[in-house]
Amino acid sequence: MSDKTQYYTTTGKGFLVKARHYLAEGDLLQASEKGWGAAAQMVKSVAEARGWPHKSHHHLWRTISRLAKETGDEEIRKGFAAAGTLHTNFYEGWQPADNVVRYLDQVEDLVLKLESLNGEL
């Protein structure tokens, strides 16, 4: 694993820990944004490892689409869509706590899947 790939992986996993911490404190906005950050950093990690572009949201979504097709696992798309909802929630604050919990659970599943994809390279 390259230094850059490792950086994105470490950062993504760290953001997930912070998301759970903020959630426990009742800070849904920060929990949401760290959930998004965890997913985005892990997508960047996989893209970096494969030599795919990852400088924009568009690139991240294209990576997710490619990975879902490659693996046949549509949960990858759903997990990243949940992360996108969390990203929006950071700005709008319209998601209730139970939704944030569910979306963070989906993001956690996504993080684990993406980490395992990096391990397969």
Q: What pLDDT is recorded for position 120?
A: 66
DSSP for 88-115 reads HHHHH----HHHHHHHHHHHHHHHHHHH
Delineate the domains of the chain, giving CATH numbers in brackets.
Answer: 3-119 (1.20.120.330)
Structure tokens at 110: 């996504």
pLDDT < 50 regions, the chain? none
Q: Could you tell me the CA-to-CA distances from 16 to 13, 19, 50 in Å, in that order?
A: 5, 5, 23
0.75 exceeded by pTM: yes
